[in-house]
Amino acid sequence: MVSIEIFSDVVCPWCFIGKRNLEAALLQLTREHEGAKNIKINWRSFQLNPQLPSIGISRSEYTSTKFGGTERAAMVYDRVQRSGHEVGLELNFNKIETQPNSSILHALVYAAEMVQRDHDFVESLFKAFFIDGVDLTNRDNIIALATDIGLNETTVDSVLNDGLFMEKIEEDIQEATRLGIQGVPFFIINKSIGLSGAQPPEAIAKAIEQSL
C-alpha cells in the first residue's frame, strides 16, 4: 500500500492543477506497475486565507489586497489560467464574485471521506468555484454540492451548525506548520517523500515509483 497525503486548499487553483497532474501520474503508473492500483489518497486541510471572515469577502477586495491591485492580479491569474489550460482545465476567474473562508468546506471533505466520496467532493468544489463561479459562502450552494455526492442532510447540518470535523482541520493546520509547509499543493508519499507545488505528472510518478 502506498499512501499519498495531499495538503490542499479547495480555493487554490494550483491545487486543482496539481490534482490533474496527480491523476495523469497515476494513470501512467497503473499501466506500468501492478502495485500502483493499491494507492490510498488522503486529502489534508490547508488554508491559504484563514483570516477571512466566515461570510467571505468580495473577490475584487481579495485580489486587490493579495496582489496589490487588479492589474497585478490579472497577470498572476493569466499565468495560472494558461497552466490550467495545459492540463485541460478552463479556469474562469472572472466568474468568481466572493472569496470564501474554506474551513467549512474542508470539514465537509472529511464528512465525504466517511462515505468514500471525498475525491468526488474535492473535484466538485474545484469545478464549482473555478469553472462555474459558484458562491461557496452560500449555504444552499454548499448543501447542494454536498448532497449531490451522497452526503445526507443530517451530516451536512452537523458540519455547518455543530462544527463537526473542525478539530480535524485544526490538526491538519498544526501538522502543516510542523512540517514547514508554506504553500500548496503539497504531496507526502508514504510519509517520507515530499513534493511541493503543482509538479508535472512525470515528477509525481517518479516519486511514487520510488515507493513502489
pLDDT band at 73 (very low <50, low <70, confident <90, very high): confident
Question: Which contiguous run of DSSP H or E holds residue 72?
Answer: helix 70-86
pLDDT, averaged across the chain = 95
pLDDT at 46: 98
How far is residue 98's CA from residue 137's CA, in Å, rounded to a whole number?
Answer: 7
Burial state string for 69-80 with b = 16 or more CB within 10 A and e = fewer than 16: eeeebeeebeeb
Residue 137 in 3-state DSSP?
Answer: coil
Nearest partner of 49 among 136, 113, 128, 112, judged by Cα: 136
Can you give the pTM of this predicted structure? 0.95
- Tens digit of each residue's pLDDT (9 = 90 or more) over 31-63: 887 766 789 999 999 999 999 999 999 999 999
Domain boundary assignment for the chain: 2-211
Q: What is the CATH number of domain 2-211?
A: 3.40.30.10
- Tens digit of each residue's pLDDT (9 = 90 or more) over 162-194: 999 999 999 999 999 999 999 999 999 999 999
